[in-house]
Amino acid sequence: MIGLFSALYIVTASLTSFVTQVGYPEHFLRGIFMSALILSTRRKWSATMMGIVCGVVFFLVVPAPAPYLLVSTIVSGLIFDLVLIIGTKYGETLTQQRLLTGAGLSGLGESFVALLILTELGTPGILGKTFDAIAVAWSADIVLNILLSIIGAFIAFKYLGDRLAKQRTTLTSQ
Contacts 24+ apart (CB under 8 A), 52-60: 52/77, 53/2, 53/3, 53/6, 54/6, 54/9, 54/10, 57/6, 57/10, 58/10
Tell me how far apart the alpha carbons of residues 159 and 173 are, in angstroms, rounded to a whole number.
23
pLDDT tens digits, residue range 105-142? 999 999 999 888 888 776 555 666 677 777 887 888 89
- pLDDT value for 23: 67
Summarize pLDDT for 23-33 with one digit per residue, the tens. Answer: 678 899 999 99
H-helix segments, 86-130: 96-121
Q: Helix 46-61 crosses helix 68-85 at what angle (to 10 degrees)?
A: 170
Domains of the chain: 2-173 (1.10.1760.20)
> What pLDDT score does 171 carry?
47
DSSP string, 46-87: HHHHHHHHHHHHHHHH-SS--THHHHHHHHHHHHHHHHHHTT
